[in-house]
Amino acid sequence: MRVFVAVDLPEELHPRIADIQSKFSDFKFKFVNPDIVHITMKFLGEIPEEEIENISKALDSVSCEPFETSVGGLGVFPKPRFAKVIWLGCGGDFEQLHKSIEESLSPFQLAKDLHPFSAHATLARVKYLPKKKKEDFIQLLEELKDIEVGTMQVDSIKLKKSTLTPEGPVYETLHEVKIG
């Protein structure tokens, strides 16, 4: 099964996320349902079902104090003219949490991350951006780059199963770990 470790964004931020996404309604992007927007701490990929219990137990050893984070600031990967992902930034002690997750999962010899960890919540995927709309897109990014969404307490992580469907991914929480 396809799994990842995540921090969910609280329900009270969902309307604000939907509002930000609506500002991009002139573009044909693939938006993430605001109800499932999250911060991916570690993508594990395809894992045999019989390994899930061991991974869950390993995650129980994650050691990090709960912390407050601010959610806001809009950005893209890899860069505005060639955007593939639109994201919201997240402040706070995510580096420590990520490091502890990596350490707890090290016995499983999972694939190394291709990019340095960057705490963010994906809002949309850009499949195609017509040249004539590129400047409008870049201007909108500039207007929203410092947008504030809100704050939240990070006090748990979740091991989630991802099932890909034509309507978008369906996530199921397999295991939750309270941190601290």
Contact indicator for 169, 9 with CB cutoff of 8 Å = no
Burial class (CB in 10 A: 0-12, 13-18, 19+), 57: exposed
- Which residues are known to be catalytic? 38, 120
Within a 13 Å sphere around the CA of 161, how many CA atoms are in the beta-carbon half?
Answer: 14
Within a 13 Å sphere around the CA of 153, how many CA atoms are in the beta-carbon half?
Answer: 7
Counted residue by residue, the chain has a size of 180
